Structure formats: C-alpha cells, structure tokens
Amino acid sequence: MDIDDVIRRIGKGDKQAFAEIVMQYQQPIFSFLGRMSLSQAQAEDIAQETFVRAWRHLDDYQPMKAAFSTWLFTIARNLALNELTSTRSKNEFSSGEELPDMASETPEPLQMLCIKQQHFHLQAALRQLNMQDRSVIGLAYVDELSMADIARIEGDSLEAVKTRLHRAKEKLRKLMEKTYAKP
C-alpha cells in the first residue's frame, strides 16, 4: 500500500480510502496494545480511538518527520500509557498474541506443551517489566521497527532507545533465567 497515495485520496474526499489504512494497521496496533498489558476490551477501545484520532488529525501527519506507521504507533502508545496510568489496572493482562505458526509441521503433543509453557513464562516475565520496557521490546522484536522509528515513537534519542532496549532485554533474560533455574 502506498500510504502517500491513500492520504491523497482521503484529501480528495475518498472516505473509503481510510479503510485501507485500518485494514493494514489494525492487527499490528491491536497486538502492540495487548503487549502493553491492556485487557482485550481496553486494547480494542484504544485501537479504535487511535484510528479515530488519526482520521481527525491526518492533516497533522508530516511524512518528512516519520513514517506513517511510526506516527500511528505513537498515537496508540500515548493513548495506552494514558489508560494504564489513569486506571492502574495491573490485574487485567492480555498477551494480545497467538502462539507462533508452526508452519506445515504439526508438533507432537509434548512439543506443543513445551511451546505453550514457554509462551506462558515469556508473557509472565514481560508483565513484570515496566510499561516502557515492554513497549520498546514489543516495537523492536514483534513489530520489527527500526531503532530510529522506535526512538520517534518513544520520544527518545536513538542512543537512549538502544540503551533502554539493552537494559530491558537484560531484565527479561534474568526473569526468564529465574523461571528456568533448577531448584
């Protein structure tokens, strides 16, 4: 999808063109919000609000400053942080992710159990990280954004994001080591 073309079409009054943006970004935004420890209902509401705000403020988007996806993820991140800060809903968690696709091979039941346990432990460890650490890890490893895009979304310098990501990975590694340490 050529985002510049879609934005031009929207500017010319093609309201259906925005549906292309929603279709392209709804799942990545929803998954990102799930990793921010929002409940499914909260993630759905914030994803919807993200697209409403993007529609209302499309004229504010500046392609020379950042990619459209970066701008959109920034809106979602800010709304999520506002929600998490205002509600302090630490008891409602949702991973927002499915188990990885196992390609064409069907894993054995024992392998599937191991995968589910690893996924569970990883999600539990991620929930122990603060919101900022979860955000930077999710943007880097799940959404596979560049460090420059993450810096724009997070409102930090490139160096600060690299440092934060390194520290967050170390915290996550230590949490996972505790989980798998032998008694």
DSSP per-residue codes, 111-161: HHHHHHHHHHHHHHHHHHS-HHHHHHHIIIIIS---HHHHHHHHTS-HHHH
Say how far apart CA 172 and CA 18 lie, in whole Å. 38
The string of pLDDT tens digits covering residues 169-179 is 999 888 888 87
CATH at 162: 1.10.1740.10
User: What pTM was estimated for this model as a whole?
Assistant: 0.57
Q: Tell me how crowded residue 44 is: count the other CB atoms within 10 A of its CB.
A: 14
What's the length of the chain?
A: 183
Q: What percent of the chain has pLDDT over 70?
A: 82
> Residue 101: helix, strand or coil by DSSP?
coil
Q: What's the domain range around 138? A: 3-180
Q: What is the distance between the alpha carbons of residues 87 and 45, in angstroms, rounded to a whole number?
A: 14
Whether the Cβ atoms of residue 75 and residue 56 lie closer than 8 Å to each other: no
How many independent structural domains does the chain possess?
1
The pLDDT, as a whole number, for residue 160 is: 93
Is the pLDDT higher at 163 or at 180?
163
